[in-house]
Amino acid sequence: MSAEKTPTYPGGIAAILTQMEGRREAIDFAPGEALPPYDTPLGELAGQIVSDPDADPAEAPPFRSGHHRKRHALRRELAGRSELVFLNALLIAHLRKRAFPAHAPALFQRLWTEQGTALLAQLDPRWLVSSVTTFGDHGLSLVQRSVGLALTTLFGTMKLYESERLYSGLPADRPFGLDGRDRGPLPMEMDGYSLSGGGLDVNMIGRLWREAEGDPVIRPLAHHLLELLISDERTVLRRLMTMRQRQARRSEARPKGDLAGNLAPVPASHHGLAASDLRWGITATIRAPLPEIARFAAHHLELGAQVVQIHLDTPDPEAASFLTRHPAIRVTQCDDAYWQASGRARPEAHQVRQAYNATQSLRDGLGVHWLGHIDVDEFLLPQRPLGDLLAEVPLAAAFARVAPAEALASAKGLPQRFKTTHKHARQPKSVLQEIYPTFGAHLYGGFLSHTSGKVFARTGIEGTRLGIHTLKYRGEDASNRHRLGEVWLAHLHARSWEQFRDDLAFRRTQGSYRKASDRPEMGQAELISFLMEEEGDAGLRALFDEVCADTPGLRARLAARGMLVEHPFDPDAAVARVFGALP
């Protein structure tokens, strides 16, 4: 017989029930206070707007009772919305308790029977879930109670596991990789959900939908919540569906016979293409002030880009008007209309928005043969005309990778020197501790930014998508790639101490300093967190000075190992030549 197990909650079920009941004390009323009567004219409430309770002497503190306190809190939260919404919330607050006015369940039922359509149009998802929970507790029919209880359990469970998922460091719209699955058992001896043939999600949603059809009052509410659920890109349902599709594509693209890798087919239009006929361009999703965008555009136009496609992540009509005076610059305002036309909600993660926008540019083609996907703080530094370099890419390659060179922060003005990783200089990893004595062991390649570089992709290949650092074909990384030589991608990641410090919060939560869940060793995220906790700005400044600052000592150590890049770089002069004076 197995040993007795310790319950998750000390005291077990008895303690759980005690804690739950402790929160269900009835809301008391002061003399003269009451809920609106059952025969309240609900149609009149639909046209009345909740006002600020603090501006109304009858509503403002001091509070006379629990009802007054709850009423004030709800009116403050719902100010500007209809009195119907407020009445729904007030009834829910009372009906959650152990005791409540006798007519409250009937008034709640009448509210949804007569004004359900108006409520659905005004309630946000949180209050919709609270409403369906109240049907589970006080429904007049078996269908109302069963559907209400089932949806309450579903959304409550979602809230628990989605809250835990936040600690994975991944955004809610990013599925886990297919190769990182743990093979251990699930709790309660459950069988794992099958990506290829599992039907638990469909059966659960379908049964709830069908069950709700049995009651005309709860049906619109339940169906509306289920529609919201299956349309949200941030749920486990969407993530599992994406993983299922990826697995299917992986199976379809698995090498057969002598075919090796995931080869994206090079279009016939690229065969025999001479350098003089080759056209190239770049695409970027940008949220930056106009001077930075102008530097980025002018630098690459002077290199010979036939098209510079800019997606303004934050719409800026004045910047767009200025930039598009140049015929080679195209600007897309990523406003609400843009995302609505795309058929998808605006992704929360900027990396997802970047990849989506870049893929739209790739599929459009922009009239070029090669399209590079880079950021506003990245500048190509070719040693020969870029068109010549791209024309020399082997015909079998669908995309070409450009290695990064991280900027050394100058004491004044823009950086003028850059550094490579040990790998790109063909040096052993041990040189990192010689170059960066304190921090070299904790930073891959000695970089604070990415070491993967960025890519140029051939246009016109069906089934391809541009990622941040790669080209995907049929959902997986294309394997027919080429390292583009004689060009660096200068990355102005930390061009000054002030900029590095200002960008730190964003990069730690949404950018390159987030913890990589697949790397057990210390990296940028862990190192920076440690320095901030133990030494504050002094520790961060020590890191910046050793790794980022353009000092004679660092330059000498890099140069001795072939890891220093010096290249003419003056994007401000390019701005003057291309645009003239900025507004």
Same domain, 322 and 213: no
Same domain, 111 and 21: yes
Same domain, 202 and 292: no
CB 223 within 8 A of CB 116: no
- DSSP string spanning 410-450? PSSSS--EEE--TTTTT--TTHHHHHSTTTGGGSGGG-SS-
- 445: domain CATH number is 3.90.550
Residue 146's pLDDT is: 94
Confirm whether 4 is domain-assigned: no
Same domain, 284 and 222: no
- DSSP string spanning 213-238? TT-TTHHHHHHHHHHHHHH-TTSHHH
Confirm whether 258 is domain-assigned: no
Same domain, 206 and 302: no
Pairing of strands 417-419, 404-408: antiparallel
Residue 522's pLDDT is: 56
Q: How far is CA 406 from the centre of its chain?
A: 25
Confirm whether 77 is domain-assigned: yes
Residue 34's pLDDT is: 92
pTM for the structure as a whole: 0.57
Same domain, 320 and 378: yes
Residue 1's pLDDT is: 37
Compute the residue count for the chain.
583
Same domain, 166 and 85: yes
- The CA-CA-CA angle for residues 365, 371, 374, to 5°, reads 130
- Measure the CA–CA gap between 355 and 467, rounded to whole angstroms: 5
Q: What is the gyration radius of the CA atoms in the chain, in angstroms?
A: 30
Q: In what order do the strands lie in the sheet with 307-312?
A: 329-333, 307-312, 280-286, 370-373, 454-458, 399-402, 481-483
CB 455 within 8 A of CB 372: yes
Same domain, 449 and 572: yes
518: exposed, middle or buried (Cβ count in 10 Å: 0-12, 13-18, 19+): exposed
Confirm whether 563 is domain-assigned: yes
- Measure the CA–CA gap between 545 and 553, rounded to whole angstroms: 11
Count other C-beta atoms under 10 Å from residue 376's C-beta.
19
Residue 256's pLDDT is: 41
Residue 171's pLDDT is: 85
Tally of domains in the chain: 2
549: which strand partners?
409
H runs (alpha helix) in 440-515 = 497-502, 504-509
CA contacts within 13 A on the Cβ side of 541: 5
Residue 43 identity: G
Same domain, 557 and 410: yes
- DSSP string spanning 109-143? HHHHHHHHHHHHHH--HHHHHHHHHHHHHH-SSHH
Same domain, 207 and 352: no
Residue 532's pLDDT is: 76
CA contacts within 13 A on the Cβ side of 122: 22
- Measure the CA–CA gap between 91 and 95, rounded to whole angstroms: 6
Confirm whether 180 is domain-assigned: no
CB 563 within 8 A of CB 435: yes
Pairing of strands 471-473, 399-402: unpaired
Confirm whether 117 is domain-assigned: yes
Same domain, 141 and 288: no
- Measure the CA–CA gap between 287 and 316, rounded to whole angstroms: 9
- DSSP string spanning 242-270? HHHHHHHHHHHHS--TT--S-PPPPPGGG
Residue 198 identity: G
Cα diameter, the chain = 91
Short-list 565, 522, 514, 577, CA closest to 167: 514
Confirm whether 389 is domain-assigned: yes
Give Cβ neighbours of residue 306 (< 8 Å, ≥ 6 apart).
Answer: 279, 280, 281, 328, 367, 368
Residue 5 identity: K
Confirm whether 244 is domain-assigned: no
CB 403 within 8 A of CB 424: yes
Give residue 135's domain range. 12-175+195-231
Does an H or E element contain 303, and which? helix 290-303
Same domain, 492 and 361: yes
Does an H or E element contain 372, and which? strand 370-373
Q: Please give the C-alpha separations between residue 158 and each of 170, 195, 216, 483, in angstroms, as whole numbers.
A: 16, 19, 26, 44
Question: What are φ and ψ of residue 237, in 5° steps?
Answer: -65, -45
pLDDT in tens, the chain (583 residues): 345 678 888 888 888 888 888 778 899 999 999 999 999 999 889 889 999 998 888 888 899 999 999 999 999 999 999 999 999 999 999 999 989 999 999 999 999 999 999 999 999 999 999 999 999 999 999 999 999 999 999 999 999 988 888 888 888 888 888 776 776 777 877 777 777 777 888 888 988 999 999 999 999 999 999 999 998 888 988 888 888 888 777 666 554 433 357 899 999 999 888 889 999 999 999 999 999 999 999 999 999 999 999 999 999 999 999 999 999 999 999 999 999 999 989 999 888 999 999 999 999 999 999 999 999 999 999 999 999 999 999 999 999 999 999 999 988 889 999 999 999 888 988 899 999 998 888 888 888 888 889 999 999 999 999 998 999 998 889 999 999 989 999 999 888 888 888 877 777 776 667 665 444 445 677 777 777 777 778 888 888 889 989 999 999 999 999 999 999 999 999 999 999 988 8
Q: Please give the C-alpha separations between residue 275 and each of 236, 387, 488, 513, 518, in angstroms, as whole numbers.
A: 48, 6, 20, 39, 41
- Measure the CA–CA gap between 459 and 480, rounded to whole angstroms: 14
Short-list 420, 415, 427, CA closest to 402: 420
